[in-house]
């Protein structure tokens, strides 16, 4: 890393004084002020931190309802009615950090520790492939003896696994501790999709209070992780905050400032934003009584505001939430979600779920991948998508954002969602899901007005029926 970059990392771009000042300035906004922000939001150009503060401080529920409707419309216009599905694959719960909210904390002596070897990773991947997954997120605790070479080898292992007719993971994303630029370059060479790293909390005093020991205590090292990944050529990066550690309004503005800084420095903001809430975890008293717990209503507001303030960024919903609440959040802006998730190493070989002595946190949605897909297709009329075409065709980073802002990306993503859903229905789905899914696909084709496009999609669907796989636009 250059000396200039090292010097830059000595300063935080999260302006806490400005955040607090703007929240104070936006306190108890009148109706006209909120309506003006909502009117601007319809243009899908995002919001300033002050405009976002106005929505966060609004207490008029009728205006909140108008905000939910706008968030829903923005998501539909940009991403359509598809929901991208993936599974986390926990490789290691061994960790050198002691985070007050996490079951993997080094000080937690009750946790059964495990790091998967190459063969165990292969076995987990085979199970996920047999379920129908095409996208995985590798998740690690922070081990000082792991470097870029180790992680790159794991990525290559996942890509190498084949099972059945179409069992192949087509996109590997990673969630792991901040690395050096040199180590990030090794991940890039291994072909990762998105690098994901959550700041957890953007409030520095809280950050230091909840991170008791380990490398993670370094606020700035973590804050600039996505910068180093971008410098290494990883142009799809993902951020998030853990809601419940500090005031949710502060965290939303922190996320926006982080996104704006990436946009300023690299010309493109985050590919996705995640917004997990603290859930109970063995060995963490804090996880049972979060210091700044967010209730369901305000959490729903958070999701809608994230969609409005960063309209072209993917929003990821985890399985921390229960099925009913996940359905509600899907309607106001979510574009990606995990399904059939297990949160400890070796979990997919285990028929049980929610094992406190192994997992990172308690899972709220324990449904299988197929149960989630059936629910999406039958009850919500969403297209479950396993598409990875953009990544493999170079539609990433600023290219993806440019296409999205030009309203072009949905012309690729919608048909690709249909094609990957068709693959799932053909190769993995039980009859009830297959019947619902085929009906949904027929209905989607009927909505496509451009005849040449509809014919092209239909032709590829027939090729899938004839045995071809991995077709995309």
pLDDT at site 5: 65
Cβ pair 194, 184 in contact under 8 A: no
Q: What is the mean pLDDT of the chain?
A: 94
If you write DSSP's letter for every residue of 148-163 in order, what string do you get? HHHHHHHHHHHHH--B
What's the CATH number for 81-390? 3.20.20.70
Phi-psi region at 80: left, alpha or beta (left = phi > 0; alpha = psi -120 to 50): left
Answer yes or no: are the C-beta atoms of 329 and 298 closer than 8 Å.
no
Q: CA separation (Å) from 195 to 137, 263, 402? A: 9, 16, 20
C-alpha span between 315 and 303 (Å, rounded):
8
Tens of pLDDT, residues 41-92 = 999 999 999 999 999 999 999 999 999 999 999 999 999 999 999 999 999 9
The fraction of the chain above a pLDDT of 70, given in percent, is: 96
Q: What is the pLDDT of residue 408?
A: 62
Contact between 258 and 14 under an 8 Å Cβ cutoff? The reply is yes
| Rounded Cα distance, 389 and 409, in Å | 11
Alpha-helical (H) ranges within 179-313 are: 181-190, 204-210, 219-223, 225-231, 248-266, 285-288, 296-309
Asked if 236 contacts 135 with a C-beta cutoff of 8 angstroms, the reply is no
Listed in sequence order, the residues at least 6 apart from 112 whose beta carbon sits closer than 8 Å to its beta carbon are 357, 358
Contact 275, 302 (CB under 8 A): yes
3-state secondary structure of 270: coil
| Residue 178 reports pLDDT greater than 60 | yes
pLDDT band at 413 (very low <50, low <70, confident <90, very high): confident
10 Å CB burial of residue 28 (0-12, 13-18, 19+) is: exposed
Q: Of the candidates 310, 359, 309, 300, which has an alpha carbon nearest to the alpha carbon of residue 332?
A: 300
Cβ(172)–Cβ(155) below 8 Å: yes
User: What's the confidence (pLDDT) of residue 427?
Assistant: 96
DSSP state of 55: H
Q: Name 237's bridge partners.
A: 195
The tens digit of pLDDT for each residue in 97-143 reads: 999 999 999 999 999 999 999 999 999 999 999 999 999 999 999 99
**What span, in angstroms and rounded, lies between the C-alpha atoms of 255 and 261?**
10
- The neighbouring-strand residues paired with 137 are 88, 173
User: Residue 442's CB: how many other CB atoms inside 10 A?
Assistant: 10
H or E, element range at 382: none
pLDDT in tens, 266-290: 999 999 999 999 999 999 999 999 9
Q: Which of 183, 217, 184 is nearest to 201 (CA)?
A: 217
Per residue in 311-346, pLDDT (tens digit) is 999 999 999 999 999 999 999 999 999 999 999 999
Does residue 295 register a pLDDT over 80?
yes
**Chain segment 195-225, per-residue pLDDT in tens:** 999 999 999 999 999 999 999 999 999 999 9
Rounded Cα–Cα distance for residues 123 and 437 (Å): 29
Separation of alpha carbons 470 and 473, rounded Å:
10
Closest of 89, 283, 293 to residue 196, by C-alpha: 89
Q: Do 238 and 271 contact (CB within 8 A), yes or no?
A: yes
Instruction: Determine contact, residues 106/55, Cβ cutoff 8 Å.
Output: no
CA dihedral in degrees (114, 118, 122, 123; nearest 10)? -40
- DSSP state at residue 405: H
User: Nearest Cα to 55, choosing from 288, 283, 301?
Assistant: 301
Cα dist. 139→87, 174, 294, 297, 360 in Å? 10, 6, 25, 29, 11
Give the CA count within 13 Å in the CB-facing half-sphere of 261: 21
């Amino acid at each position: 890393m250059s000396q200039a970059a090292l010097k830059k990392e000595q300063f935080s771009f999260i302006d806490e004084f400005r955040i607090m000042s703007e929240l104070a300035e936006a306190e108890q906004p009148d109706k006209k002020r909120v309506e003006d922000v909502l009117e601007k939001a319809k243009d899908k150009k995002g919001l300033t931190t002050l405009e976002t503060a106005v929505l966060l401080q609004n207490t008029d529920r009728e205006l909140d309802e108008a905000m939910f409707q706008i968030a829903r419309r923005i998501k539909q216009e940009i991403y359509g009615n598809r929901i991208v599905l993936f599974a986390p694959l926990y490789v290691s719960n061994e960790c050198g950090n002691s985070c007050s909210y996490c079951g993997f904390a080094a000080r937690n002596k009750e946790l059964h520790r495990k790091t998967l070897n190459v063969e165990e990773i292969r076995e987990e991947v085979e199970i996920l492939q047999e379920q129908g997954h095409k996208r995985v997120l590798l998740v690690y605790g922070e081990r000082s003896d792991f470097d870029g070479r180790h992680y790159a080898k794991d990525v290559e292992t996942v890509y190498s696994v084949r099972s059945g007719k179409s069992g192949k993971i087509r996109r590997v994303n990673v969630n792991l501790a901040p690395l050096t630029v040199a180590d990030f370059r090794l991940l890039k060479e291994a072909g990762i999709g998105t690098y994901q790293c959550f700041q957890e909390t953007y409030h520095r005093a809280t950050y230091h209070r909840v991170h008791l020991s380990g490398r993670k205590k370094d606020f700035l090292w973590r804050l600039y992780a996505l910068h180093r990944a971008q410098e290494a050529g990883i142009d799809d990066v993902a951020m998030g905050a853990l809601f419940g550690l500090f005031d949710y309004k502060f965290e939303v503005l922190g996320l926006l400032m982080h996104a704006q800084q990436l946009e300023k420095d690299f010309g493109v903001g985050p590919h996705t934003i995640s917004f997990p809430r603290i859930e109970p975890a063995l060995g963490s008293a804090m996880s049972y009584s979060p210091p700044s717990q967010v209730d369901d209503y305000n959490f729903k507001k958070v999701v809608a505001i994230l969609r409005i303030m960063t309209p072209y960024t993917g929003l990821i919903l985890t399985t921390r939430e229960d099925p009913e609440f996940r359905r509600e959040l899907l309607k106001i802006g979510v574009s990606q979600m995990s399904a059939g998730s297990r949160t400890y190493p070796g979990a997919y070989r285990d028929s049980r779920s929610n094992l406190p002595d192994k997992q990172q946190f308690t899972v709220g949605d324990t449904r299988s991948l197929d149960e989630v897909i059936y629910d999406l297709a039958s009850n919500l009329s969403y297209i479950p998508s396993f598409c990875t075409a953009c990544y493999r065709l170079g539609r990433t980073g600023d290219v993806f954002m440019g296409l999205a802002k030009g309203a072009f990306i949905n012309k690729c993503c919608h048909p690709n969602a249909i094609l990957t859903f068709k693959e799932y229905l053909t190769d993995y789905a039980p009859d009830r899901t297959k019947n619902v899914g085929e009906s949904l696909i027929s209905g989607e084709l009927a909505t496509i007005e451009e005849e040449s496009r509809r014919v092209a999609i239909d032709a590829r669907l027939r090729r899938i029926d004839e045995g071809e796989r991995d077709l995309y636009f």
